[in-house]
Amino acid sequence: MKPSSALTIIFCLLLSYTIDVTAQQKDSLKTTELKKVVVVSYISMNGIGHLNEVQPPIIYAGKKTEVIIVDSVDANKAINNTRQILGRVPGLNIVESETGGFVANGIGVRGLNPVQSLEMNVRQNCYNVAADIYGYNETYYLPPMEAVERIELIKGASSLQFGAQMGGMVNYVIKEGNHDKPFSYSTMHTGGSNGLFNTYHSIGGTVKKLNYFGFINYRTLDGWRSNSAQKQLTGFGKISYNLNDRIKLGVEYSLLRNKIKMPGGLTDDQFEQDSRASYRTRNWVKSPWNVITATADFNMNKNTSFQIKSTYLSGERSLVWFAKLPTEIDQIDPLTGQYSNREVDQEIMKSSATELRFMHRSNWGKIKNTLAAGVRFSVAEFERREEAPGSNKSDFDLSTSGEFEENFEFTTINFAPFIENTIHLNDRFSITPGIRFESLESEVEAEYEVGGIEKETEQEKSRSFLLMGLGLQHEVGKAADIYANISQAYRPIDYAQLVPLASASIVDPNMKDPKGFNTDLGIRGTVKSFFNYDIGLFFLSYDNRIGTILKTDQTGTPYTLRTNIARSEHKGIESYLELNITRGLKINKQVGDFSIYNSFAYTNARYTQGEFKGNKVEYAPEIINRIGLVYSKKWLSASLQFSQQSEAYADAANTIRSSNPIVGKIPGYEVVDFSTTFHFSKIKLKAGVNNMNDKRYFTQRTDEYPGPGIISSAGRSFYAGIGIDL
């Protein structure tokens, strides 16, 4: 039986349980609503835990979830070091490309592409910060980690409540203003290797019924490689107002301004000779981002709540660069005494999205129910202009001496109602069926050139699909849960895949939308206060997977083609174990807490049909293993983390080495990071070393900017900072 058929039968049977539930409001659930205190209950040990079954207006029962409490993690937050901050999440694959021209490292799970977090639904305060999850899902904006309270992740079965993606949802929750003071101020100043200077300032507080919080963060960095200079300004402001005990209104605004110099990609030979080398001195990018969101929360009674969240996003990406493979050197022409003209490419993104969420708790006899339903409506417009002749200068200059050769205008309209219902058959066991209906309308107008012939096209496409899922959760004892789920997933082809900006690959215009399903089975819990664990098995089926393959043209020249590769299956185990040694041995608390953790994942991701049957999926290392030692006392905390990752490949053919650096092996690596924090009253001192062993490695081969080619990860670097909380 196909998974979709089984899901349909199960869903219909379980949903029949709740047809008359809303009529049974007299025997409503007896629950205590907590505000900020509920966050503390997420923490199992020293900074990682899992989400509660229900956190209005969202249901997490039966799902594989993780929560990182950012302030409890010692890490280089000045550069958002993802390897340290999210390193405890089992199986998290990180593309470390900040030194190449990105403002944020991308993440992926379970053998899915981590570049720009393409396979994740990335959110801030539970609204999307990517331009368009159905049309352009690349992540360019992330908040500075000094401003983030916690990071929430749902792997696999999150598509029903959050929309299209195959990997899961990650949500960066920004801090709120102090609820006990009318004004508070926090600052942190960090300096370090490679010209790092980062300054962060935040204010917040509560005045009667109004809570406010805002920050500004400015960072400059010369970069580990030459020609990697960047300047970045991030800002945020939020105001929320309680009209009364039932109605809360809020508005918030996020901005990003940056200018980044890109050192370009490398060939295998160039990387082996000098991984810090750069052969591009005139490549630049900027990606200003603006996100404004208005929210309204209504608590109709203790059992019923309603939320409206509406977001408007305006962003850009502009490049001026020498858009060639690294084998072609960008140098002064001896005849003219000048550089050649660079290429200018621009993208303009505007989108709006509104999500309505409703939650109702009720009893049907002895059966307790929590119903979560809602709808998402979004409109996104995307304009891309490519290949205009730029100047022959070296600075950031977007002026052009001619027209753009290619122009594209995309529009996407999405309408998606969804519903999930957690049915507690008893105090220990719950069943959560869910369903989501997606309706997509897309339109493209294009002007481009093929073989010297100008063409114009206009296309419209409509499609709709149904996603269903089921989650199970059973409490074992007082501090352990067994969870299981299966959920369909869908990921429409986005603009970045169909018409990638400044790509060195040829793109198949007949690509199909990928689809598939996720399933999990695991157990999580704690043993008293000294042992924390979460061990689970997963399986992911991914049809029409999109990737790059190496081809050869009629002249014998190799090139890469971006197309649907085939079906892939991803299966494995994810494990997190943490032991607090001092608590376990009942050592005097004055000594402090000393703990050790292991975040481990084994992933077998392979193609199961087609030309590459049996080959490993791109960007899918079999082993991701991180071991950490943590010590904490009232005035001191320190952590040492060892990260190990096995080899992977950049193309479906599993090419080991090629004259085209876009494809080839991505070698495995081992990296050690150390961080420490000292607390003196209201003063904080931080210091650390990233990549202590100075490992020379890379995690990405790219067919577009900031390459093409190999993008080196950073070697050893130091940092130190001082902060004040008032």
| Alpha-carbon gap, residue 700 to 678, rounded angstroms | 35
**Residue 625 maps to a domain:** yes
Q: Find how far residue 329's CA is from the centre of its chain.
A: 34
Q: With contact defined as beta carbons under 8 Å apart, do 503 and 481 qualify?
A: no
In 3-state terms, what secondary structure has residue 318? strand
Under DSSP, the state recorded for 175 is P
- Token readout for 360 is 């109702």
| Alpha-carbon gap, residue 168 to 148, rounded angstroms | 20
**Residue 304 maps to a domain:** yes
**Residue 646 maps to a domain:** yes
CATH number of the domain enclosing 187: 2.40.170.20
In the prediction, which pLDDT does 39 show? 39
Under DSSP, the state recorded for 6 is H
**Residue 253 maps to a domain:** yes
Q: 142: Cβ–Cβ under 8 A, 6 or more apart, which residues? A: 80, 103, 104, 122, 124, 129, 172
- In 3D space, the residue among 669, 666, 634, 674 whose CA is nearest the CA of residue 650 turns out to be 666
- Token readout for 59 is 């249901």
What pLDDT, in 10s, does the model give residues 352-388?
999 999 999 999 888 999 999 999 999 999 998 988 9
**Residue 215 maps to a domain:** no
What's the Cα-to-Cα distance from 104 to each of 82, 121, 148, 434, 502, rounded to whole Å?
A: 9, 15, 15, 33, 20
Look up residue 687 and give its amino acid.
Answer: A
- Total number of domains in the chain: 1
What pLDDT, in 10s, does the model give residues 205-231?
999 999 999 999 999 999 899 999 999
**Residue 216 maps to a domain:** no
Domain, as residue range, for 11: 3-210+222-725
In the prediction, which pLDDT does 8 show? 42
Q: Judging by beta carbons within 10 Å of its beta carbon (0-12, 13-18, 19+), is residue 280 exposed, middle or buried? A: buried
- In 3D space, the residue among 348, 346, 284, 232 whose CA is nearest the CA of residue 101 turns out to be 284
| Alpha-carbon gap, residue 72 to 221, rounded angstroms | 26
| Alpha-carbon gap, residue 533 to 539, rounded angstroms | 20
In the prediction, which pLDDT does 497 show? 61
| Alpha-carbon gap, residue 717 to 692, rounded angstroms | 8
| Alpha-carbon gap, residue 516 to 536, rounded angstroms | 20
Name residue, tokens 């009629």: 554
Name residue, tokens 């997963």: 538
- In 3D space, the residue among 257, 102, 194, 86 whose CA is nearest the CA of residue 702 turns out to be 102
Q: With contact defined as beta carbons under 8 Å apart, do 154 and 60 qualify?
A: yes
Q: With contact defined as beta carbons under 8 Å apart, do 570 and 489 qualify?
A: no
- In 3D space, the residue among 72, 104, 84 whose CA is nearest the CA of residue 689 turns out to be 84
Q: Residue 397: which H helix or E strand, with range?
A: none
Q: 453: Cβ–Cβ under 8 A, 6 or more apart, which residues? A: none
Q: With contact defined as beta carbons under 8 Å apart, do 694 and 718 qualify?
A: no
In the prediction, which pLDDT does 17 show? 36
Q: With contact defined as beta carbons under 8 Å apart, do 261 and 227 qualify?
A: yes
Strands (E), 585-656: 593-607, 623-632, 636-645, 648-649
- Along the chain (726 residues), what's the average pLDDT of each consecutive run of 10 residues? 43 38 35 39 61 91 93 88 91 82 81 89 94 82 93 89 88 95 96 94 96 96 91 96 94 96 93 94 93 96 94 94 88 90 93 96 91 96 91 92 89 95 93 94 78 73 90 91 93 67 63 88 91 95 81 73 85 95 83 92 93 92 96 91 96 90 94 94 94 94 86 94 94
**Hey, which residues does 424 pair with through a beta bridge?**
368, 430
Return the exposure string of 517-530: e unless at least 16 CB atoms fall within 10 Å of the residue's CB, then b: bbbbbbebbbeeeb
Return the exposure string of 657-691: e unless at least 16 CB atoms fall within 10 Å of the residue's CB, then b: ebebbbbbbbeebebbbbbbbeeeeeebebbbbbb
- In 3D space, the residue among 458, 457, 462, 465 whose CA is nearest the CA of residue 442 turns out to be 462
Q: 161: Cβ–Cβ under 8 A, 6 or more apart, which residues? A: 58, 59, 372, 374, 418, 420, 434, 436
- In 3D space, the residue among 427, 532, 537 whose CA is nearest the CA of residue 473 turns out to be 427
In the prediction, which pLDDT does 293 show? 98
CB atoms within 10 A of CB 378: 22
Q: Judging by beta carbons within 10 Å of its beta carbon (0-12, 13-18, 19+), is residue 559 exposed, middle or buried? A: middle
| Alpha-carbon gap, residue 205 to 52, rounded angstroms | 27
- In 3D space, the residue among 317, 216, 341 whose CA is nearest the CA of residue 262 turns out to be 317
Q: Judging by beta carbons within 10 Å of its beta carbon (0-12, 13-18, 19+), is residue 556 exposed, middle or buried? A: exposed
Q: With contact defined as beta carbons under 8 Å apart, do 374 and 358 qualify?
A: yes
- Token readout for 300 is 């109709």
Q: 13: Cβ–Cβ under 8 A, 6 or more apart, which residues? A: none
**Residue 217 maps to a domain:** no
Look up residue 55 and give its amino acid.
Answer: Q
Q: What is the largest CA-CA distance in the chain?
A: 88
**Residue 185 maps to a domain:** yes
CB atoms within 10 A of CB 109: 28
Q: Find how far residue 210's CA is from the centre of its chain.
A: 31
**Hey, which residues does 576 pair with through a beta bridge?**
534, 599
Would the pTM count as exceeding 0.85? yes
| Alpha-carbon gap, residue 698 to 665, rounded angstroms | 10
In the prediction, which pLDDT does 10 show? 40
| Alpha-carbon gap, residue 145 to 142, rounded angstroms | 9
| Alpha-carbon gap, residue 415 to 417, rounded angstroms | 7
| Alpha-carbon gap, residue 348 to 259, rounded angstroms | 16
